[in-house]
Structure 1
Amino acid sequence: MRVPLAVTTSARPREELVTRARASAKAWGVPFFPRRSGEGIADWFDARAEALIVFGHDGVTLWDKEGHHGFHAGMAHLRRMRLAAGEGDTFVRVAELRKGDAVLDCTLGLGQDALVASLAVGPTGRVVGVEKNLALYALASAGMKTYAFGPDSCHVEVVHADAHEHLRTLPPRSFDVVFFDPMFARPGKAQPGFDVLRRFADHAPLTPETLEEGRRVARRWVVVKGARYTDDLRKLGLQPEPGSHFSDVVWGRVGPSEGSP
């Protein structure tokens, strides 16, 4: 019987790698499949698992029948470099992120914006990323554990949960910024890894009810990323913030709920 997700290792793994992979599989509640020396995994997708988290000597990779994507900073690395050099970042500007802030990323995905936020809020801040899909959660949580954040960043905490349900468990005004990047249909070619994200991410639209839960939890802003040339933000009652006319991405924000403690 084929399982939705399993864990394995690269070929010829060291014992330490096997131990770490087994422990992660147990923590995530998925099977661990030992891999024999020289054994490929291509046939496993027909018989054993729909997707695999592969622990390798060079990092953690999510595989399925259509391709694979390893955890890495991607464009977030360049954004972090620019931020460290004193240049601007649209997410940081719209959210007005400051040192010591607490940020809740409700749609973590591959963790790009969370990595930028971790540098913007610094070591005294806090960034929590919520991911509903188990495969993406596994990739992000394993990858964040080994990512070199450096002394100027806080670490990113990764939570496996539905964003709406998780928001309902949080006290009012418990995060400075709540962030949503729903899986809108964006035109043009996205950066590498976006195809993997599309296959695994939750495609349900952001609802007004979830937005209101975000407003209850936020102290400063709820920030929503949307697609240009769509009415994604308008449906939520948001107006796009000023930004580059050359970007396919638009940003909206709204303050906390009136009357929140």
Structure 2
Amino acid sequence: MNYIVTTSYKPSREEVTKARDLAEEMGVKYVSRSRLKEYEKEKVLDFYYVFDKNGQLVIRSGEEVFFFHPGMSKVRLKNIKLQDSDYLIKSMELAGTELVLDTTFGLGNEALLIANFLPDGKVVGLEASEHIFRVVSHGLKNYPYEDDWTREAAGRIELYNRDLREFVRSCGEGSYDIVYCDPMFDRPQYSSHSINPLRPFAVYDRINRDDVDWMIRAARRKFILKSRTRDTLFQELGIEFDRLWGSKKSGVLYGVVDKR
């Protein structure tokens, strides 16, 4: 894909410096925002990175804007407080000291939610897409959090630009208390406006049973796999889950393998 790095309009010197540094790091061209339209007449761009004035790094592709935002984690925590109804958090049975591996990080909303319940623990996240990794890792560190819990939870997350297959095969047995996997769904829910801008940059490689066996090996206490009621992932993998549950309303299922 063809892309460049730019800034918002009338950038500060710091924004220009950050944009130039990122362009150099990625081996692509930096184009000042005032010259962007002219540049697009000469070169066809698939998308471009923008350092915004609020300190955020975003990707613009046509009318779509991909950026980091902790919104869904806040909604889910609110629902937990009101109804105690989050199947992922219930599945994990967290004591607060666990080391959790999130093998498919994406926007990081679930990782933030998990990290909130780990005052003395940590989430290690893997994101195979370079572009999703760059936007989200920047956001985790620089987002202007309004709530203390999101800021503190973000500080308990380590994110790496790694593919889960290669990573879990390098892990020792029982390296993590819990291993969680949330692959892209077979049948996308296009009504999800927060996910849609991410789709062009996501990695869609389908996990297989061998991948799952390595993830289970890396887990000391639990392995949890997420899917949807209308997808075929669970049937294809043929896993014997100790628990399979979820929300009929959302159609999301969590398969849990308990190792003790």
Q: Tell me the TM-score normalized by structure 1.
A: 0.84
- SS across alignment from 1:104: strand
- Are 1:73 and 2:73 matched, yes or no? no
How far residue 153 of structure 1 moved from its aligned partner, in angstroms, is: 6.0
Moved more, 128-137 or 40-49: 40-49
Distance 1:226 1:218, change over 3 A: same
Alignment of 1:216-231 (within 5 A): 216-231=217-232
In structure 1, give the amino acid aligned to 2:224: V
How far residue 218 of structure 1 moved from its aligned partner, in angstroms, is: 0.8
Do the aligned partners of 2:4 and 2:31 also contact (CA within 8 Å) in 1? no
Return the alpha-carbon distance in structure 2 between the equivalents of residues 114 and 45 of structure 1.
Answer: 41
Return the alpha-carbon distance in structure 1 between the equivalents of residues 38 and 129 of structure 2.
Answer: 22
Alignment match, 1:92: 89
Alignment match, 1:166: 167
- Are 1:108 and 2:109 matched, yes or no? no
- SS across alignment from 1:178: strand
Alignment of 1:167-182 (within 5 A): 167-182=168-183
- SS across alignment from 2:244: coil
Q: Over aligned residue pairs, what C-alpha RMSD do you find?
A: 2.7
Moved more, 235-244 or 217-226: 235-244
What is the CA deviation profile of residues 174-201 of structure 1, one whole-angstrom value per residue up to 9, with x for unaligned ones?
A: 1111111111223654421322222211
In structure 2, give the amino acid aligned to 1:130: L
Distance 1:219 1:80, change over 3 A: same
Return the alpha-carbon distance in structure 2 between the equivalents of residues 141 and 107 of structure 1.
Answer: 14
Do the aligned partners of 1:42 and 1:65 also contact (CA within 8 Å) in 2? no
- SS across alignment from 2:151: coil
Distance 1:67 1:45, change over 3 A: farther
Return the alpha-carbon distance in structure 2 between the equivalents of residues 247 and 186 of structure 1.
Answer: 13
What is the CA deviation profile of residues 162-219 of structure 1, one whole-angstrom value per residue up to 9, with x for unaligned ones?
A: 1110112222211111111111223654421322222211111111111111111111
In structure 2, give the amino acid aligned to 1:252: G
Return the alpha-carbon distance in structure 1 between the equivalents of residues 153 and 183 of structure 2.
Answer: 28
Do the aligned partners of 1:119 and 1:154 also contact (CA within 8 Å) in 2? no
Which structure features the higher share of helix residues?
Answer: 2
Q: Tell me the TM-score normalized by structure 2.
A: 0.84
- SS across alignment from 1:150: helix
Do the aligned partners of 1:187 and 1:248 also contact (CA within 8 Å) in 2? no
Do the aligned partners of 2:227 and 2:252 also contact (CA within 8 Å) in 1? yes
Alignment of 1:1-16 (within 5 A): 4-16=2-14
Alignment match, 2:126: 130
Do the aligned partners of 1:5 and 1:30 also contact (CA within 8 Å) in 2? no
Figure out how many residues of one structure are paired with residues of the other and give that number: 252
How far residue 130 of structure 1 moved from its aligned partner, in angstroms, is: 0.7
Which ranges in structure 1 are unaligned for 5 or more consecutive residues? none
Which ranges in structure 2 are unaligned for 5 or more consecutive residues? none
Do the aligned partners of 1:99 and 1:125 also contact (CA within 8 Å) in 2? yes
Alignment match, 1:241: 244
In structure 2, give the amino acid aligned to 1:241: L
- Are 1:56 and 2:52 matched, yes or no? yes
How far residue 40 of structure 1 moved from its aligned partner, in angstroms, is: 4.3
In structure 2, give the amino acid aligned to 1:10: S
How far residue 34 of structure 1 moved from its aligned partner, in angstroms, is: 3.3
In structure 2, give the amino acid aligned to 1:17: E
Alignment match, 1:121: 118
- SS across alignment from 1:113: helix
Alignment of 1:130-149 (within 5 A): 130-147=126-143, 148=145, 149=150
Distance 1:201 1:46, change over 3 A: farther
Do the aligned partners of 2:116 and 2:152 also contact (CA within 8 Å) in 1? no
- SS across alignment from 2:183: coil
Alignment match, 1:252: 255
